[in-house]
Amino acid sequence: MKKIYLDNAATTPTDARVLQAMVPYFTEVYGNPSSLHAFGQEAKHAIEDARYTVASCIGAKPEEIIFTSGGTESNNCAVKGIAYARREKGNHIITSNIEHHAILEPCHFLEKQGFEITCIPVDENGIVDPADVEKAITEKTILISIMHANNEIGTNQPIGEIGKIARGRGIYFHTDAVQTLGHLPIDVNELNVDILSASGHKLNGPKGVGILYVKKGIRMLPFMHGGDQEQQRRASTHNVPGIVGFGKAVELAKEEMGKEIEKLTFLRNMLIDGILAKIEHSRLNGHPAQRLPNNVNISIAYVEGESMILNLDMEGIACSTGSACTSSSLEPSHVLTAIGLPHELAHGSLRFSLGRKTSEDDIRYVLAVLPGIVSKLRSMSPLYKKEVK
Amino acid sequence: MEYSEKVMEHFRNPRNVGEIENPDGVGKVGNPVCGDIMELYIKVDGGIITDAKFKTFGCGAAIATSSMVTELVKNKTIEDALKISNRAVAEALGGLPPIKMHCSVLAEEALKRALDDYRMRSAKVASGKAA
């Protein structure tokens, strides 16, 4: 059976070239980068090369890049590390109600510690209005954290404008760029970003490695205490193969970004247009244009998401109902609820996230298979009978 | 989350999908907010459930439990059907993931409601006759 992977927002396959770059760092260059001998120094050179590659990709200086274990650590580190470092200045944090749980949960945690959190609502397309962010600012605001693009509905946020507002008021601005690094151009200077999180496995790199960009001069308490690694900002022995892989993944993504964006945008639109044309009572979630080149999020009325996923899986197609991190939860997605979808539509949503290996044939196959699955489920659905017949 | 082979088999080939025209009992449970809606229809003849059908909006477990409960009640007396618990439905399916046990509860509720409906309808018919 044909197997088609359309869940690249959950994770991507590690590119063979990335893996190839990593392999020597398991078996040959295995030294600890903190060691003074040649074994260690060779490994240190490798991580510094990766740091340079990542920094130059986003317009940062190498010393502004901290390697972490992934997006969740980077987000936790940013939100909590800044909150605690700036506690004397204020206790107010602004974020949005469509952030990933790796931002929302640290914020909830801080709320219990006496911080105040404002979650900015989004419009029906899932976009944060910078004016709303500005209105929410108080004298106590110390941090604004708004994601670069949403992981479920793919909307790109106007973070450049939000960053400008934050900078004008002396408030730190963090962005969760887990879905965008390597997929969209990022320049931290143009975007007025002070702190940025990203993860290796979302851009055909390995799992278990991420970065945190922290602009020079930004105060942040470390999350991990221990050795002197990462300028004492993140203790723990470096994940050398992972960091090397991250560097290689960023290098490849940067080289191929232009043509990837073009290819994915074409395939994305083909999938969206095809579904909307072939399946009655379906709608696109998120902004039609201001969205990630690889994200398709569709609600299909009168059928439930998991049943569609299972049926698609039986046909060899892998996609998701929303975020992989919440797929065991019974609650409808907080993002779909935030854009005002009624519960029954939120429960009937599918996210297809395209990747480097996705082909036109793959999209044609999905478009050939999905309508039949939907009709089968609708024939079983008590909701379809009532509203349509 | 992993479903048992039996759950997947019922999900792939659900039994007794549809509605019964002129049913003797109907049970409707769930709501769009929780994400599962079940409708169970029964036909009763001489105190025995002769046919059962369902329509369900819901996840894999919701569809499988609906399918299984229709299979379990067929050819049972009303008294025996009343004894079918959510655990019995889940066990007949080779178990359900803990987070999906509520689907079996929904299936039991749909059945209980259909049986209640049947009793109310028969009581009405009986009192109609008496009058």
Buried b (16+ CB within 10 A) or exposed e, B19-50: ebeebbbbbbbbebeebbbbbbbbbbeeeebe
Sheet holding B25-31, edge to edge: B25-31, B36-45, B48-57
Give the model's pLDDT for residue B31: 80
> Residue A327 and residue B50: Cα distance in Å, rounded?
39
What per-residue confidence (pLDDT) applies to B125? 82
Domains in chain A: ranges and CATH: 4-11+257-388 (3.90.1150.10), 16-252 (3.40.640.10)
Judge whether B39 is closer than 8 Å to chain A, CB to CB.
Answer: yes
Which residue from B minimizes the CA distance to A304? B58
Q: How far apart are CA A382 and CA B62, in angstroms?
A: 13
Dist. CA B36–CA A176, nearest whole Å: 34
Better-scored residue on pLDDT, A212 or A344: A212
Q: What pLDDT score was predicted for residue A386? A: 58
Per-residue pLDDT band at B40 (split at 50, 70, 90): very high
pLDDT, average across residues A56-82:
98
Angle, CA B60 vertex, CA B55 and CA B62 arms, to 5°: 45
Residue with tokens 């790199």: A205
Which residues of A are less than 8 Å from B21 in CB distance?
A: none
Q: Is the pLDDT of residue A224 over 70?
A: yes
- Indicate if the alpha-carbon torsion angle A116, A117, A121, A127 is positive or negative: positive
> What percent of chain A stands above pLDDT 90?
93
pLDDT tens for A298-357 read 999 999 999 999 999 999 999 998 655 555 556 789 999 999 999 889 999 999 999 999
In this predicted structure, what is the pLDDT of residue A353? Answer: 98
Q: Report, as an integer, the average pLDDT of A264-276.
A: 98
Task: Give DSSP secondary structure letters for B62-88.
Answer: HHHHHHHHHHHHTT-BHHHHHT--HHH
Element (H, E) at A363: helix A360-380
pLDDT tens digits, A356-377: 999 999 999 999 999 999 999 9
Chain mean pLDDT for chain A: 95
Q: Which residues of A244-269 are buried (b: 16+ CB within 10 A; e: fewer)?
A: bbbbbbbbbbbeebeebbebbbebbe
Hey, are the CB atoms on A344 and B60 less than 8 Å from each other?
no
- Of the candidates A302, A310, A332, the beta carbon closest to that of B60 is on A310
Q: Does B103 touch chain A (CB under 8 A)?
A: no
**Which pLDDT score, from 0 to 100, does residue A249 have?**
98
What are the chain A neighbours of B55 within 8 Å (beta carbons)? 380-382, 385
Whether A187 shows a pLDDT value over 70: the answer reads yes
Residue A279 has a pLDDT of 98
| Parallel/antiparallel/unpaired status of strands B48-57 and B36-45 | antiparallel
B12 contacts in A (CB within 8 Å)?
A: 314
**Closest to B51 in 3D by CA, of B14, B29, B28, B26:** B26
- What is the reported pLDDT for A329? 57
Contact A380 B36 (CB under 8 A): no
- Asked whether the beta carbons of residue B35 and residue A379 sit closer than 8 angstroms, the reply is no
Query: What pLDDT, on a 0 to 100 scale, did the predictor assign at position B126?
Result: 81
Q: By the CB < 8 Å criterion, does A123 face chain B?
A: no
Is residue B131's pLDDT more than 60? no
Residues B84-99: pLDDT tens digits? 999 999 999 999 999 8
Domains and CATH numbers, chain B: 5-122 (3.90.1010.10)
Q: Helix A360-380 to helix A305-314 angle, to the nearest 10 degrees?
A: 130
> In a mutagenesis test of the A interface, which of B13, B26, B57, B66 is the best target, namely the one with the most A β-carbons within 10 Å?
B57
* CA atoms of A244 and A17, how far apart (whole Å): 11
Tell me, what's the pLDDT at A351?
Answer: 97
Q: Distance between the two ends of chain A, CA-based, in angstroms?
A: 36
Tell whether the model's pLDDT for residue B33 goes beyond 90.
no
Contacts of B102 in chain A (CB under 8 A): 330
Q: A380 and B14 in contact by Cβ < 8 A? A: yes
As for the ipTM of the complex, it is: 0.92
Extract the runs of DSSP E, i.e. beta strands, from chain A: 4-5, 65-68, 92-96, 116-120, 141-145, 172-176, 195-199, 210-214, 282-284, 295-300, 317-318, 349-353
Q: At what angle do helices A240-278 and A360-380 cross, to 10 degrees?
A: 60
Give the pLDDT band (50/70/90) at residue A129. Answer: very high
DSSP state of A14: P
pLDDT at A246 over 80: yes
**The pLDDT value given to residue A206:** 98
Our CA dihedral for A44, A48, A50, A54, rounded to 10 degrees, sits at 150
Q: Which residues of B touch A330 (CB under 8 A)?
A: 34-35, 99, 102
In this complex, which of A314, A332, A382 lies closest to B37 when CB atoms are compared?
A382
pLDDT value of position B1 = 63
Q: Give residue B20's pLDDT.
A: 97
Would you say residue A191 has pLDDT above 60? yes
